[in-house]
């Protein structure tokens, strides 16, 4: 029988734990079993992802930063005085700082993130670092349409979505996101999107199967998080990390593979695993420049320019609506 979701107090992250419980219960009853990748990012998971970005095999962060630095002048031109930069997702990263340093005349910066508390902390840090910049954080779920502060609606707006986070969406959802972003930004807006590209399979494979095992720990942390927050009893040693490129879907798939037939309990409910059965934990889509441009067009955007590194490993797209 389907486990009944018990109401539980919203812990720490503004009710996020309730969604986590419901999504884990539903995902482990689905076939194949799956858990949404957004749940990787608790405190421990966010730290592990930060570690991933510094791995020699994990090229996306390094390469995207290089592309941004190389195109600092073009970025400054996109962001002159009187313009507002709207970032989708938390603006804590080194990438945001590269852009803010390049855009010296930029008036207003609007980070949009669902994690309200973290958002305020980051905003405070950026105010200290960029005293002439008007920082206006918006706590909202950026995967849906949201309202910009009134003062920003009168300025030309530039959206920023780096990190190939868009690769975590199914292509249809990626188009949906771009469409909503266009609605939130309004007319005459520009959008700057970082998109990881299809490449040599060995390079892709290594990026998600690093020698130090950090990506494996990142993946397995999901089970540790279930144990911590949902009273689970996953034995982390009886699951293993698997990441491989699925050429048909042009995506890296991450799974957690059960090493044996076993029964796991979460909050008193039982879930059975066959030996070799997996939990699908992430898709990371890889696009060609042309495929991403076509997707952006479908979502109502006009591709203006695209910047890539010399190897053609990563792309940053400038779109206009």
CA separation for the pair 31, 2 (Å, rounded): 14
Q: Does 165 engage in binding with ligand AVJ (CB under 6 A)? A: yes
Q: Which residue's CB is nearer to ligand AVJ, number 206 or number 289? A: 206
The angle, 0 to 180 degrees and rounded to 10, between the axes of the packed helices 94-102 and 116-129 is 40
Size of the site for ligand AVJ (CB under 6 A): 11
Output the smallest distance, CB 5 to ligand AVJ, in A. Answer: 28
Note whether 92 binds ligand AVJ by CB under 6 A. no
**Considering only 93-101, 128-136, 158-166, 302-310, which stretch makes contact with ligand AVJ by CB under 6 A?**
158-166
The set of residues, in sequence order, having a beta carbon less than 8 Å from that of 109 and lying 6+ positions away, is 84, 85, 87, 91, 100, 126, 130, 133, 134, 135, 136
Q: Calculate helix-pair angle for 59-70, 94-102, nearest 10 degrees.
A: 0
Q: Which of 161, 208, 234, 307 binds ligand AVJ (CB under 6 A)?
A: 208
Binding mask 107-146 for ligand AVJ (x = CB under 6 A): ----------------------------------------
Residue with Cβ nearer ligand AVJ (91 or 167): 167
With tokens 């920082």, the residue in question is: 135
- Using CB under 6 A as the binding rule, whether residue 162 contacts ligand AVJ is answered as no
Question: Any contact of residue 60 with ligand AVJ (CB under 6 A)?
Answer: yes
Alpha-carbon distance of 147 to 88, in angstroms, equals 13
CB of 3 to ligand AVJ, least distance (A): 28
Q: C-alpha angle with apex 72: 53 to 118, nearest 5 degrees?
A: 45
Task: Output b/e per residue, 224-241; b: 16+ Cβ within 10 A.
Answer: bbbbebbebebeeebbeb
Among 90, 96, 168, 221, binds ligand AVJ (CB under 6 A): 168
| Footprint of ligand AVJ (CB under 6 A) | 52, 60, 163-165, 167-168, 208, 215, 282, 284
């Amino acid at each position: 029988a389907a486990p009944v979701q018990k109401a539980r107090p919203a812990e720490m992250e503004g009710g996020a734990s309730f969604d986590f419980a419901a999504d884990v219960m539903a995902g482990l009853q689905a076939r194949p079993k799956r858990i949404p990748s957004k749940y990787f990012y608790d405190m421990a998971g966010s730290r592990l992802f930060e570690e991933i970005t510094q791995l020699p095999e994990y090229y996306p962060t390094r390469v995207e930063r290089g592309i941004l630095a190389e195109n600092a002048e073009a970025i400054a031109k996109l962001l002159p005085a009187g313009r507002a930069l709207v970032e989708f997702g938390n603006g804590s990263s080194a990438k945001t700082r590269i852009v803010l340093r390049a855009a010296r005349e930029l008036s207003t910066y609007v980070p949009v993130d669902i994690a309200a508390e973290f958002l305020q902390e980051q905003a405070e840090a950026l105010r200290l670092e960029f005293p002439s910049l008007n920082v206006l954080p918006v706590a909202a779920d950026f995967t849906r349409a949201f309202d910009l502060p009134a003062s920003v609606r009168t300025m030309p707006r530039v959206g920023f979505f780096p990190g190939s986070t868009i690769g975590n969406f199914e292509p249809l959802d990626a188009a949906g996101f771009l469409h909503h972003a266009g609605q939130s930004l309004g007319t005459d807006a520009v959008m700057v999107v970082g998109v990881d590209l299809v490449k040599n399979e060995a390079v892709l494979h290594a990026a998600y199967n690093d020698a130090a095992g950090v990506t494996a720990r990142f993946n397995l942390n999901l089970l540790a998080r279930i144990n911590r927050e949902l009273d689970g009893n996953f034995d982390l040693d009886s699951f293993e990390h698997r990441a491989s490129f699925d050429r048909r879907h042009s995506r890296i798939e991450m799974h957690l593979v059960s090493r044996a037939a076993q029964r796991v309990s979460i909050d008193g409910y039982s879930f059975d695993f066959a030996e070799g059965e997996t939990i699908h934990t992430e898709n990371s889509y890889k696009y060609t420049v042309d495929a991403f441009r076509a997707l952006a067009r479908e979502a109502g955007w006009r591709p203006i320019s695209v910047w890539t590194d010399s190897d053609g490993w990563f792309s940053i797209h400038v779109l206009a609506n």
